[in-house]
Structure 1
Amino acid sequence: MTSRAHIAMFSIAAHGHVNPSLEVIRELVARGHRVTYAIPPAFAEKVAGTGAEPKLWNSTLPGPDADPDAWGSTLLDNVEPFLADAIQALPQLIEAYEGDEPDLVLHDITSYPARVLAHRWGVPAVSLSPNLVAWEGYEQEVGEPMWEEPLKTERGQAYYARFRAWLTENGITMHPDDFSGRPARSLVLIPKALQPNADRVDETTYTFVGACQGDRSAEGEWERPADAEKVVLVSLGSSFTKQPAFYRECVRAFGDLPGWHLVLQVGRHVDPAELGEIPGNVEVRSWVPQLAILRQADLFVTHAGAGGSQEGLATATPMIAVPQAVDQFGNADLLQALGVARKLLTEEATAEALRTTALALVDDSEAARRLEEIQAEMAREGGTRRAADLIEAELAAARRA
């Protein structure tokens, strides 16, 4: 047993970034460590439920229930708010931890202040990545082409200049790309099956511990209707849910389909009235206990976010992937390549295409076989307990140094 330590976790107020870390935090608390969790107030209650102590700070990012349009549409629209938020958050976090510095920093990939603070305090930092990580060659294959055009603009150059100046001011000489994308140590909270070019990932830095899902009973239960021969869950996650036209196609695809029951999560930005008449075999919710439903479902229509994708794999549920943004397109391609999903772009996801794809997929024995194989591989990755073991190993190594 590693002696009791103060471990500080840092994240942003976004479900897809906070949720994957919670079971790891709960396990560290159960092992006797004091864990603080720096988080905006919207997630204070959820964090406190793990036994960690919330350290509150105010963020300038769109909140967890913000309209997706608030994030903008271009690369610079997406990255500038994170840098601006980091710069204004750092003084708040310095003050919050004054006289209460931790022995080790854990941080989500979006938490730039965490690495700065670890540097200031002289303590190890471990990234908890809720999605794919960089492989050898990533910068040349993905990063440089993606930034080629933005870097020709005054705005793109100003972004990098501001990032470099902030790092320099805090005694860090790393390039901004390495600072944000190349952690010293990372635990990857997705199964290796979801990592592109997994054979080119440096496993001295990155360790795949897989899904850390834990007991989700607090989120509520769900009971499969007794007369349902097939259950399909449709969910586009928590951020990119403003898709009433797509939801209408889902109702057309599965409503009144004999023997089928549709659970349709529409998020907070769609009024069910926009969907027209709802058949009796369709339940429309703003939010659902996703994992509880997937454990009983026959099909998952998902945006292919990292969290949803791994929950589909962990429950061996075949998927129709309808990606909406960022890494979801790559995840959808990967799931299809694994043989466990079919990809449909939003404009292709008509009622007819959804129904045809669904009927074929739920009867696909090869997809079922692959799902069972991947589910077993994920179980061997170790999940929550292995993540906590590795964090304690980092603590022990730091104490020996």
Structure 2
Amino acid sequence: MAHIAILTIGAHGHINPTIDLVAEAVARGHRVTYCVPGGFGSAAETAGAQLLSYDSLLVSRPAGPPTRPGTKPIDTPTPTPTAAEFAAYLPFILLAETKQVLPQLLHAFADDIPDVLLYDRTAYATGRVLGEMWGRSSIEAFASFAYNEHFSLAAVTRQQSVLDPDHHGYRALADQLAELATDTRTTPLTVDDFVLGRTGTAIAFLPRGFQYAGDTFGPGYNFVGPCLRTRLAASTRTCAPVEVYASLGTAFTDRPEVYAAITAALGQIDGRSLLSMGSTEHDQIVANTGDDRIEIRPFVDQLAALAAARVFVTHAGMGGVMEALYFGVPLVCLPQTTEQQTVARRVAELGLGIELGADAPTPSDLHAAIESARTDPRIRSNVRAMRDIVRATGGATAAIDHIQRVLETTPRSAGDPFQATTSVAVH
């Protein structure tokens, strides 16, 4: 049996899809080492993985970009960056994370190199470099949309992209990638490789039919859909039927104006509603609701709530959208980030719900969207069809089948013994 390493980041939307993979791999007799920042990973350990914690530089909401990406560190907090700024400097943040994490993993696996590495898309450079240094197969994992030459967030949002050689960050990023290759004695990654996550083999936690330009991704890309089996088995709570379940996730909960609009709209719904407000408490909103048909909780068992809901009001994170589609629940999308806006747009394009945009909606607009998602026969028919597609994608079973095929068909190379067993100083 194989030793499988899984490398992900400290974000629930990236961790949750991999827990089923751990359970499925362990059930088949494989050994799994789960690499994640300290403070995360307890669910993977419960599922049977050996936990390997590493120190990470990533934070959920960086303060702002450097003046010119890649030229100096962020010394002074700045206002929240625009979407274009964030897209420009994110590659440099991810590359800095590689330089932080790579020596830790080389040291940790020095005497126990895994047979295959599944790495999160955000850890692209780390995964590619480790695979080459170890002489092992590495497989990319996309928690959201996969990228290629036909689709990327920069392309779909028409942002000026660091992929453009005339972009002010292009040369700095190319230089840093070249330095990484020199320091690790590995094949240089191009800017296109790094930004697009270019790879020959990948697992994506969505159906190919939901993926933008899905038919342009080759057979090495396995679209397995959401992996919910372990969480469904652990979800012992039941939820009474609700007309609307609303949640903006856990990362962007400081939006009192949005919560006020949601509670006002839910007050116009004939029936019971459930609102999860995350870790942020807006006591005044709760006090002003005065409607016992609206149940407000800080946290909710989301799978149980979706199983009981007729409509899901969501920030349009990919994980939550896939969970709703698994249960056949139409969506009303209030996206908070560029990526969520792209997910919401896809929901609307496929007729699976309503997209209202990033700004706080008026209660009347939100109420109208909820009623449309709740009653429109076209939306409900499209959601039922997508539910059947989502449930047929294979989930963790298909993902581990893919990993085993890679192990069986890709010969192991010797790698560089010095590189594979020595902590490389990455500057």
TM value normalised by structure 1: 0.89
3-state SS of 1:268 partner = coil
**How much does 1:148 deviate?**
5.6
**How much does 1:81 deviate?**
2.1
**How much does 1:384 deviate?**
1.4
How many pairs does the alignment contain? 389
Partner of 2:250: 238
3-state SS of 1:347 partner = coil
Higher deviation after alignment, 339-348 or 147-156: 147-156
Q: Structure 1 residues 159 and 47 mapped into 2: Cα distance closer, same or farther (>3 Å)?
A: same
Partner of 2:45: 48
3-state SS of 2:6 partner = strand
Partner of 1:120: 133
Partner of 1:271: 282
**How much does 1:9 deviate?**
0.7
Tell me how far apart the structure 1 counterparts of residues 180 and 157 of structure 2 sit (CA, whole Å).
Answer: 21
Partner of 1:215: 230
Tell me how far apart the structure 1 counterparts of residues 139 and 264 of structure 2 sit (CA, whole Å).
Answer: 46
For residues 55-103 of structure 1, what are the alpha-carbon distances to aligned partners after superposition, in whole Å with 9 as ceiling and x for unaligned? 11111111xxx56767942223433322111111111111111101011
For residues 330-377 of structure 1, what are the alpha-carbon distances to aligned partners after superposition, in whole Å with 9 as ceiling and x for unaligned? 211111111111110133621111111212221112211111111112
For residues 164-194 of structure 1, what are the alpha-carbon distances to aligned partners after superposition, in whole Å with 9 as ceiling and x for unaligned? 3113322122313314511221011111232
**How much does 1:280 deviate?**
1.4
**How much does 1:156 deviate?**
5.4
1:57 aligns with 2:54: yes
1:384 aligns with 2:400: no
Q: Which runs of structure 2 are paired with 1:301-312 in the superposition (5 Å)?
A: 301-312=313-324
Partner of 1:146: 160
1:23 aligns with 2:20: yes
Higher deviation after alignment, 283-292 or 309-318: 283-292
3-state SS of 2:335 partner = coil
Q: Structure 1 residues 223 and 148 mapped into 2: Cα distance closer, same or farther (>3 Å)?
A: closer
3-state SS of 2:359 partner = helix
Higher deviation after alignment, 29-38 or 304-313: 304-313
Stretches of 4+ aligned residues off by more than 4 angstroms: 66-72, 139-145, 148-156
Which of 300, 306, 314 is equivalent to 1:294? 306
TM value normalised by structure 2: 0.84
3-state SS of 1:193 partner = coil
- Kept in 1, the 8 Å contact 2:143–2:319? The answer is yes
Tell me how far apart the structure 2 counterparts of residues 250 and 291 of structure 1 sit (CA, whole Å).
Answer: 20
- Kept in 1, the 8 Å contact 2:208–2:215? The answer is no
CA-based RMSD: 2.5
**How much does 1:222 deviate?**
3.7
For residues 227-247 of structure 1, what are the alpha-carbon distances to aligned partners after superposition, in whole Å with 9 as ceiling and x for unaligned? xxx421111222222211100
Q: Structure 1 residues 150 and 265 mapped into 2: Cα distance closer, same or farther (>3 Å)?
A: farther
The AA in structure 2 aligned to 1:317 is V
**How much does 1:201 deviate?**
2.1
- Kept in 1, the 8 Å contact 2:151–2:213? The answer is no
The AA in structure 2 aligned to 1:281 is R
Tell me how far apart the structure 2 counterparts of residues 143 and 190 of structure 1 sit (CA, whole Å).
Answer: 20
- Kept in 2, the 8 Å contact 1:300–1:317? The answer is yes
For residues 273-316 of structure 1, what are the alpha-carbon distances to aligned partners after superposition, in whole Å with 9 as ceiling and x for unaligned? 45542321222222221111101101001111111111111111
1:193 aligns with 2:206: no
Identical-residue share of aligned pairs (%): 30
Q: Which runs of structure 2 are paired with 1:240-259 in the superposition (5 Å)?
A: 240-255=252-267, 257-259=269-271
3-state SS of 1:257 partner = coil
Which of 350, 363, 366 is equivalent to 2:375? 363
Tell me how far apart the structure 1 counterparts of residues 35 and 113 of structure 2 sit (CA, whole Å).
Answer: 12
1:224 aligns with 2:229: no
**How much does 1:256 deviate?**
6.0
Q: Which runs of 5+ in 2 are unaligned?
A: 66-79, 414-427
